Amino acid sequence: MRVLLAVLMAGVCLAGAPAMGLAQDAVVTKAALTRVVIAPPRSDLARIIKAGLQSAYYSADKDSRAYQQAQKLYFFYGERGFEPLWLTNGGDGKVTFSANAERIIEVFKNATLEGFRPSDYLTSDLDPAAAGADPIKLAALETSFSAAAVKYAQDAYGGRIAPTAVSKLLTITPKRINEADMLLKLAASDDPGQLLLDLDPKHHEFELLKAALAKFYADGIKVEQITIPDGPALKLGMKDDRVPTLRDRLAVAAPEIPEGATDAKVDTTYDQALLDAVKAFQESLGLTADGVLGPATVAALNGGSAVSKDDLIANMERWRWEPDDLGPFHVEVNIPEFRAAILSDGKVVHATRVVVGRPTNQTPVFSDEIQNVVVNPYWNVPPSIAVNEIKPHLIANPGYLDSQNMEMLAGGKVINASAIDWTTTNINNYHIRQRPGGGNALGKIKFLFPNEHDVYLHDTPSKSLFARSFRAYSHGCVRVQNPMDFAGALMATNPEITEASLEGMFGDKERWVTLKQHIPVHLMYFTLRVDDDGTIRSYGDVYGHNKKLIGLLNAE
């Protein structure tokens, strides 16, 4: 955007500057020996635009991206005699927006359906009547419209908010459009409005969220959610006044009324059909699938709170941050859902519960590739844990490391930690690791994808936490409930490695396995997931990212 504004607005300031001596009829590019015809400007507005583009072209470093963009713009405008892209002379001599500009304006007007604000694009600058016949004002109008079109394109493709503005732990690679290329494509397109709409993410869940947002606006009211009241746990055969509401929530038909019955009452029996529906719902969320309607299942059914427009828009924004291609075979870890899934061609082929970082040790959000599987891993203790947790134990008990099957290294060699006075020594001058074994914090296996946060997926000896509904208890890594089942499903693209071959490596020595086919892994943060039937599943905002993003999106 800055390049675009500088390129075009410079023309307003340089309208009276002399031409800079570039050949007026042809230019031969170095990249591909292509002859570009530069037509001379024939109007005051065209001369202003030419001066600005020419200045940006000549002043940019020839090895820079700014130079490449300025060159493309100069050649494009030059071939059209530097006439504006978005303005046209009406039959009465007045300057108006072109047909293509009007198509883009229609997209701006309907921006709410994309989760955007029309006022961000339909600014007060876009008024041909205010520009009149003044060449400088018309040049500014051309500039403003181009800036609005490119802004919309960038918002649609990569989102309005930088992920790191929400949290420094959202280290998602920003997606950027090429502003000059996008401007040229819009100007050359027969349907620039559709070109902008086509910049939306192609992910299926984004499309479902967008459909839910359209329904919200069509209904004109807040989406109502059927709420199940609290009460005692329900098991098969029990009667409860909440049963009819539960049937409505899960779309389960009530038992048929016997023919001829005249005094039939509403059936409140927790029957097999309802139990089966509750069990299927529990399985879909990774809850204990026992069919019992307990407090955790009631909370999940109620989704914590009704789904709001802001929630829909915030989750759409996060999908705009995700890579265009997640990979035909990939892993998704959705932090608020406490769930990891392996997907093949968009279908879940394996899913498991996970434990993620506690709010004070948050699991970061980013994408990477699983490159290695490590069997019988060492646990390399992070510096923060060494300082805050291990050092106090060493001061109180010099033999603490041995009791935890840990060892200390200096210069790559194991040393005797009990011989050091830890009241005066900086523990981060040393390296601590836990040896492979039954009590190792990483369990028997870990799945590595090198990243700046040093987090990964791994086994754990602490299995009890998987039974809980809220599972944010780790130091930041992702603990997998059934890691060997997960490993077996993960090796579908690496058939030379099997679950059995990995289990055959169990022992007391660390073993590294390199994957020939790396597997994309995406650590995500979606508080809403939408099913194909339009059902919206809501999860808690465990780290507050959703609330923070909503605030940023709604800021003026």
Q: Which residues are catalytic?
A: 458, 477
What secondary structure, in 3-state letters, does 240-295 show? CCCHHHHHHHHCCCCCCCCCCCCCCCCCCECCHHHHHHHHHHHHHHCCCCCCCECH
Q: Which residues, at least 6 apart from 539, have a Cβ–Cβ distance to it below 8 Å? A: 303, 304, 334, 336, 337, 526, 527, 528, 529
Cα–Cα distance for residue pair 271/276, rounded to 1 Å: 9
Cα–Cα distance for residue pair 479/443, rounded to 1 Å: 9
Contact yes or no for 59/13 (Cβ under 8 A): no
What is the maximal distance between C-alpha atoms in the chain? 98
Cα–Cα distance for residue pair 80/92, rounded to 1 Å: 23
> In 293-428, where does DSSP find H-type helix?
295-302, 309-321, 383-385, 391-396, 400-403
Cα–Cα distance for residue pair 242/530, rounded to 1 Å: 25
Cα–Cα distance for residue pair 156/113, rounded to 1 Å: 12
Tell me the two tokens of residue 396: 């109180």
3-class SS of residue 332: strand
Tell me the two tokens of residue 72: 């493309």
For the chain, what's the residue count? 556
Contact yes or no for 307/223 (Cβ under 8 A): yes
Beta bridge partners of 23: none
Where residue 469 falls (left for φ over 0; alpha for ψ -120 to 50; beta otherwise) is alpha
C-alpha R_g of the chain? 31
Q: Which residues, at least 6 apart from 530, have a Cβ–Cβ distance to it below 8 Å? A: 205, 208, 209, 212, 536, 537
Number of CB atoms found within 10 A of residue 164's CB: 12
What does residue 32 show for φ and ψ, rounded to 5 degrees?
A: -145, 125
Beta bridge partners of 520: 369
3-class SS of residue 70: helix
Beta strands in 118-216 (DSSP E): none
**Which of 529, 353, 309, 384 lies closest to 457, judged by CA?**
353
Where residue 238 falls (left for φ over 0; alpha for ψ -120 to 50; beta otherwise) is beta
DSSP calls for 444-463: TEEEE---TT---EE--S--
Contact yes or no for 474/361 (Cβ under 8 A): yes
